[in-house]
Amino acid sequence: MSRIGVFVCWCGENIARTVDVVQVAEASLQFPGVKHAAHYKYMCSEPGQSLIRDKILADRLDGIVVASCSPHMHLKTFRGAAQAAGLNPYLVEIANIREHCSWVHQDKAKATAKAIDLVRMAVAKVRRNNALQAIKVPVTKRALIIGAGVAGIQAALDIADAGYEVVLVEREPSVGGKMAGLSETFPTMDCSQCILTPRMVDVGQHPRIKLYTCAEVESVDGYVGNFKATIRQKARFVDIKKCTGCGECWNACPQKKIASEFDYGMGNRRAIYIPFPQAVPARPAIDKQACLKLKKGVCGICAKKCAAGAINYADQDQLLEEPIGAIIVATGYQLYQISAQQPTAELSGYGEYGYGQYKDVIDALQFERLVSASGPTGGVIQRPSDGKEPKHVVFISCVGSRDNAKGISYCSKICCMYTAKHTMLYKHKVHDGQAHVFYMDIRSGGKNYDEFVRRAIEQDHARYYRGRVSKITEENGKLIVRGADTLAGTPVTIEADLVVLASAMRPATGSDDLARKLRIGYDQNGFLSESHPKLRPVETNSAGILICGACHAPKDIPESVAQASAAAGKVLVMFSHKEMQRDPEIAKINESTCSACFACVRTCPYQAAEKADVRDRAGNLVKRTARINQGLCMGCGTCVAVCPSKSADLEGFSDQQIYAMVESLL
Amino acid sequence: MLEQKLRQTCRELLANGTVKVIIGYGAAPAGQATRAVFITTPEGVEQLVWNDRCEANLVAYLKRPEVRALGKPAIVVKACDERALVVLQQEAQLERANVFVIGMACDGIGAPREAKCRSCEDQVPRFCDVVLGEVTKPADAASARWDELAEFMKKSPEERMAYWQQELARCVKCYACRQVCPLCYCQRCIVDKNRPTVISTSPSLKGNFAWHVTRAFHLAARCAGCDACTRACPVGINLRLLNQSMAKATEENFQCRPGTDPQAQPLIGNYATGDKEEFIR
């Protein structure tokens, strides 16, 4: 015989307005096994919780149902209250009569009847709950950070400064990411490199940061606290331990006209190169697509020039294993390709803007290099076609963003701000020049952000037109920009010398592949999914894997850095414990009925189902079976669905509980 | 003579100790299908027969503990039986090296010749340790494989429902279909599970529907099409139709023909980026 307590919450007016809570409490008393029923205005408040605690002790309750809000909101609260009164926390069930009932219904009588049914089901379930114990797993106190842009750098430094080891993996030859290539940053106009490069140096020199550049994560096995990451160290053809970074090699390399990735094709580099002078590590890499020695077996000048003997043309990719406890993904973004060719069928480009066709139509990151003191022109604004100083520059925002027809419905968030910044940088360098901006809306929420945009318009006299550009053509060395000013209701034609397109932010190439390797979610745009948009913004649905920066959604530097520190904080919380506690509401296999078909092993999205042997005391094989790794299982229930003999079941959501809930309604 | 060749092969296998038991077909009274025999001595091989009444899918015996207790077996299979063997292999139910497989080229079985044989695509087993005989009577067009199902699907949904209601009402829940199926190897069948009961065990129309539909789903992308269940059914329910409808769906949507590739992963529980997913949207 059960002794169940039912506690109905008013949630102030939220529930009580639409549900007759008194009636729900009275009706609950009639359900089999219910010993006590009460209602209170705020069950989650201290008096509400003490009501629960007191009743558990006074009536020796062996299970409780709280009829209140979503379990996402307060299940933990009420489990804590039960535990404080000596009741196993997993003997607490929530009947969600707010989100599932009062908030979505108007008719009080019907809503009350539904609330009673919801409580009835929860009572039927809690009667079959088992007292569970939290699962304890050991923690490897080392963090893997994937991507060494500003977010990855921040997270790495935070964790390393707190005393833990960090493995930082970067795909490019240098850390720094997109921010290293920016000119000045809004809204304070501090020089991007001036604020970032000291951090890059810190990362390179930190005794607790193990830095891999030219490297990618090949695979990740294991589970929270106990991952094993395999890292592919790609062939760099330069031994960075021997190399002193003297520069003899790249100054001698005869391949001079390779488009620089760091300059987005606005400048050139050699076949052996460092991406930019402040690179960390300040060690070159050889581009095997461009190197004459690697392609054709001729040349070899760099090896002759290298006094340290660091050049190794026979270098091969290597796979290295690292034990890891937690993972932060900070893979950042790339810009949407403006031209007609697109990587996927969902996206389409802007043939009408002539990007890729007219040399003087460039994207925002290319403009950043053009105005950067470290850029290919040394910060002198010269247009790409003939090197002339442009006197009229047109900036077009929302190129790709917020355009369902192009396949991207979201706002890229940072373009309004950097476009304003671009007009100012331009005006500061070309005093007699005129910046023109075509925009859809100006989105400048943020500390000192709107003031910044006003400054661009009022002090630096950028001309803003609310409207879209329909076509750009080239005539006599001028770009004819035809657009509309919808506020004035007139068409606008501008003869421009340079056009800068603020194209949309997209997740970095390969971030979807990485997400699949890590078994974390991503949305239809390829951005990685957080566990909860408000309450778990840097966590993913895979325990121990966190996200930060623009791989999650378009965001600017301050937000990326804040999120990186948040993710680092979450990792440090994990590392502050000797052992990790995991929720025991996970799958279990009935090994006596399991036929070892291993459908669950193939299906488990977390690779938590494993093949195992059952042996007798003498060590003889009795049978084979599937078994759940308690560290890995997230309790999704896929194995339960796929098991043909129903030998898999979910603790806390057993078939018996679910059937009992359904049967209680019949 | 093929039968002699089969006996000779089996005699050698037992004599040189390659296997401990032969699972094969033994004689039956005239007009009846052959029966399974389990031969453990070289002399016993005279009991083995091969004719067009070798209907049973002997692979089903491999899962039996009492057969396993006899030691390493050699098993006589037709191409359709062999597909079931391959599925067992894919599902980790047998170590292929622990079974010696004798494949028989098959002209079709049954009197009259069974429906599956008239549109048989394989006839000669492909993954056996030894294949005996040759095909002398090729099957009719393999394209006729779905004809019976296509004919049935021409009926309206109401007519089909009425058909199954009439047919499944006759089921006595003897579970012969399960017992003869080489792929029903669960140590505890879902129908035998209680707390909670998933499928009603009483031979009521509802429980019968739940049983046969669940069984068809559990065989989806696995059923070898040997039709052992259809032959075994004492009340003559055409279970072949249910299995075929699942087979056609998995073949058309996922290019899956069960048991034709020992290296392939089982379809259920596998994910490929090219999979159709319009039903999830």
Give the pLDDT confidence score for residue A117 in this predicted structure. 97
Same domain assignment for residues B180 and B93: no
Let me know how long chain A is. 666
Q: Where in chain A do CATH 3.50.50.60 domains reside? A: 142-332+544-575, 335-506
Residue type, B232: A
Q: Is residue B185 situated within a structural domain?
A: yes
Q: Where in chain A do CATH 3.40.50 domains reside? A: 4-126
Angle between helices B205-219 and B239-254 (to 10 degrees): 40
Q: Give contacts of B196 with chain A, Cβ < 8 Å.
A: 655-656, 659-660
Give Cβ neighbours of residue A129 (< 8 Å, ≥ 6 apart): A63, A90, A91, A93, A652, A657
Q: Is residue B169 situated within a structural domain?
A: yes
Same domain assignment for residues B86 and B179: no
The helix (H) or strand (E) run that includes residue B85 is helix B79-90
User: What backbone torsions phi and psi does residue A399 show, to the nearest 5 degrees?
Assistant: -85, 100
CB within 8 Å: A655 and B198: yes
CATH code for the domain defined by A335-506: 3.50.50.60
Give the pLDDT confidence score for residue A567 in this predicted structure. 98
Give the pLDDT confidence score for residue B142 in this predicted structure. 67
pLDDT band at residue B272 using 50, 70 and 90 as cut-offs? confident
Tell me: the pLDDT tens digits for A263-280?
999 999 999 999 999 999
Same domain assignment for residues B212 and B185: yes
For strands A609-615 and A34-40, give the pairing.
Answer: unpaired
CB B235 within 8 A of CB B172: yes
Domain range enclosing B29: 2-132
B178 touches chain A (CB under 8 A): no
For residue A595, give the nearest of B186, B266, B270 by CB distance.
Answer: B186
Mean pLDDT, rounded, for B38-60 = 95
CB within 8 Å: B218 and A600: no
Give the pLDDT confidence score for residue B83 in this predicted structure. 96
CA A591 to chain B, closest CA, distance in angstroms equals: 10
Same domain assignment for residues B68 and B146: no
Give the pLDDT confidence score for residue B160 in this predicted structure. 96
B31: region left, alpha or beta (phi > 0 left; psi from -120 to 50 alpha): left
pLDDT at B281 over 60: no
Q: Is residue B260 situated within a structural domain?
A: no
Same domain assignment for residues B128 and B12: yes
Same domain assignment for residues B120 and B149: no
Same domain assignment for residues B48 and B117: yes
pLDDT at B63 over 90: no
The helix (H) or strand (E) run that includes residue A76 is helix A71-84
Same domain assignment for residues B117 and B56: yes
End residue of a domain, out of B132, B156, B184: B132
Tell me which DSSP letter residue A297 carries.
Answer: S
Q: Determine the residue among B187, B192, B197 to mutate to test chain A binding: the one whose Cβ has the most chain A Cβ atoms within 10 Å.
A: B187
CA-based Rg of chain B, rounded to a whole angstrom? 19
A603 touches chain B (CB under 8 A): yes
Cis status of the peptide bond prior to B112, with omega within 30 of 0: yes
Cβ atoms < 10 Å from Cβ of B134: 10
B64 touches chain A (CB under 8 A): no
CATH architecture of A4-126: 3-Layer(aba) Sandwich (3.40)
Q: Is residue B273 situated within a structural domain?
A: no
A482 touches chain B (CB under 8 A): no
B265 touches chain A (CB under 8 A): yes
End residue of a domain, out of B109, B132, B155: B132
Give Cβ neighbours of residue A75 (< 8 Å, ≥ 6 apart): A92, A94
Q: Is residue B60 situated within a structural domain?
A: yes
Mean pLDDT, rounded, for B243-267 = 92
Mean pLDDT, rounded, for B66-85 = 95
Tell me: the pLDDT tens digits for B113-147?
898 998 898 899 999 999 999 998 888 776 788 99
CB within 8 Å: A645 and B92: no
CB A482 within 8 A of CB A493: yes
Bridge partners (DSSP) of residue A137 are A580
A659 touches chain B (CB under 8 A): yes
CATH code for the domain defined by A587-650: 3.30.70.20
CA distance B139 to B118: 5
Q: Note which residues in 192-211 of chain B have CB less than 8 A from chain A.
A: 193, 195-196, 198
Angle between helices A192-205 and A150-161 (to 10 degrees): 40
Same domain assignment for residues B108 and B168: no
B187 touches chain A (CB under 8 A): yes
CB A660 within 8 A of CB A608: no
CA distance A112 to A108: 6
CB within 8 Å: B270 and A602: yes
CB A327 within 8 A of CB A144: yes
Same domain assignment for residues B243 and B149: yes
Same domain assignment for residues B248 and B164: yes
> What is the secondary structure of A216-283 as a DSSP string?
EEEEEEEETTEEEEEEEE---SB-TTT-----HHHHH-S---EEPTTTTTSSEE-SEE-SSTT-SS--
Low-confidence ranges of chain A (pLDDT < 50): none
Give the pLDDT confidence score for residue A515 in this predicted structure. 95
Q: Is A613 helix (H, G, I), strand (E, B) or coil?
A: strand
pLDDT band at residue B280 using 50, 70 and 90 as cut-offs? low
- The CATH homologous superfamily of the domain defined by A142-332+544-575: FAD/NAD(P)-binding domain (3.50.50.60)
Give the pLDDT confidence score for residue A407 in this predicted structure. 85
Q: Is residue B241 situated within a structural domain?
A: yes
Same domain assignment for residues B214 and B126: no
B51 touches chain A (CB under 8 A): no
CA-based Rg of chain A, rounded to a whole angstrom? 31
Q: Is A498 helix (H, G, I), strand (E, B) or coil?
A: strand
CA quadruple A173, A175, A176, A177: dihedral sign: positive
Domains identified in chain B, total number: 2
> What is the secondary structure of B9-66 as a DSSP string?
HHHHHHHTTS-SEEEEEE--STTS--EEEEE-SGGGGGGB--STT--S-GGGGGG-HH
> Tokens standing for A630?
């308690």
CA B4 to chain A, closest CA, distance in angstroms equals: 38
Give Cβ neighbours of residue A58 (< 8 Å, ≥ 6 apart): none
Which residue in A has a C-alpha nearest to residue B91's C-alpha? A597
CA B49 to chain A, closest CA, distance in angstroms equals: 33
For strands A215-223 and A285-286, give the pairing.
Answer: unpaired
Q: Is residue B173 situated within a structural domain?
A: yes
CB within 8 Å: B188 and A647: yes
Return the closest-CA partner of residue B38 out of B12, B14, B18, B4: B14
Let me know how long chain B is. 281
CB A401 within 8 A of CB A440: no
CB within 8 Å: B193 and A645: yes
A130 touches chain B (CB under 8 A): no
Q: Is residue B261 situated within a structural domain?
A: no
Q: Is A539 helix (H, G, I), strand (E, B) or coil?
A: strand
